[in-house]
Amino acid sequence: MSLSTHNVPKLKDPSLLKEAAFINGQFITSPSFTTFTVTDPATNTPIATIPDLTAAETRTAITAAHTALQTFRHTLPRERARLLRAWYDQIIANADDLATLITLENGKPTADARGEVAYAASFLEWFSEEAPRLYGDTIPSSVRGNRVVTIRQPVGVCALITPWNFPAAMITRKIGPAIAAGCTVVAKAPAETPLTSLALAELAVRAGMPKGVVNIVTASANTAAVGEELCVNPVVKKLSFTGSTPVGKLLMKQCAGTLKKLSFELGGNAPFIVFDDANVDAAVAGAIGCKFRSSGQTCVCANRIYVQDAIHDEFVAKLVEKVRAFKVGSGFDGENTHGPLIHDRAVGKAREHVDDAVEKGAEAVVGGGVSQLGPNFFEPTVLKGLTGDMRIASEETFGPVAGVFRFKTEKEVVELANDTEVGLAGYFFSSDIGRIWRVAEALEVGMVGVNTGIISDTAAPFGGIKESGFGREGSKYGIDEYTVIKSITFGGV
CB proximity list for 259: less than 8 A, separation 6 or greater: none
List 125, 265, 467, 473, catalytic entry? 265
Max CA pair span of the chain = 80
- Determine the distance from the C-alpha atom of residue 101 to the mean position of all C-alpha atoms in its chain, rounded to a whole number: 17
The CA distance from 471 to 306, in Å, is: 28
Shortest reach from residue 255's CB to ligand NAD, in Å? 11
CB nearer ligand NAD, residue 308 or residue 458:
458
For residue 2, the minimal CB distance to ligand NAD (Å) is 29
- By beta carbon distance, the residue nearest ligand NAD is 227
Of 183, 231, 290, 299, which one is the catalytic site residue?
299
Q: Are 427 and 302 in contact (CB under 8 A)?
A: yes
Cβ neighbours around 160 below 10 Å, total: 27
Minimal distance, residue 90 CB to ligand NAD, in Å: 24
| Closer residue to ligand NAD in complex, CB, 284/445 | 445
Shortest distance, position 130 Cβ to ligand NAD, whole Å: 19
Q: Which is nearer to ligand NAD, 34 or 487 (CB)?
A: 34
Residue 182 vs residues 24, 71, 72, 474: alpha-carbon distances, Å: 17, 9, 6, 16
* C-beta of 94 vs 165, nearer to ligand NAD: 165
State yes or no: is 231 an active-site residue.
no
Please give the residue ranges that form the binding site for ligand NAD (CB under 6 A): 161-165, 188, 190-191, 223-224, 227, 242-244, 247, 250, 265-268, 299, 396, 398, 424, 464
CA separation for the pair 119, 98 (Å, rounded):
12
In the bound state with ligand NAD, the residue whose beta carbon lies nearer, of 125 and 229, is 229
Which of 26, 119, 192 is closest to 457 using CA atoms? 119
Burial class, 131, CB count within 10 angstroms (exposed 0-12 / middle 13-18 / buried 19+): buried
Active site residue 412: no
Q: What CA–CA distances, in Å, run from 170 to 44, 117, 120, 269? A: 24, 11, 7, 19
Burial of 328 (0-12, 13-18, 19+ CB in 10 A): buried
HSE-up (13 A, CA, CB side) for residue 366: 19
Bridge pairing between strands 425-429 and 270-274: parallel
Contact assessment for residue 444 and residue 466, using Cβ atoms and an 8 Å cutoff: yes
Choose between 103 and 222: whose C-beta lies nearer to ligand NAD. 222
State the minimum distance, in angstroms, from the CB of residue 145 to ligand NAD: 47
Q: How far is the CB of 225 from ligand NAD (least distance, A)?
A: 8
The catalytic residue positions are 265, 299
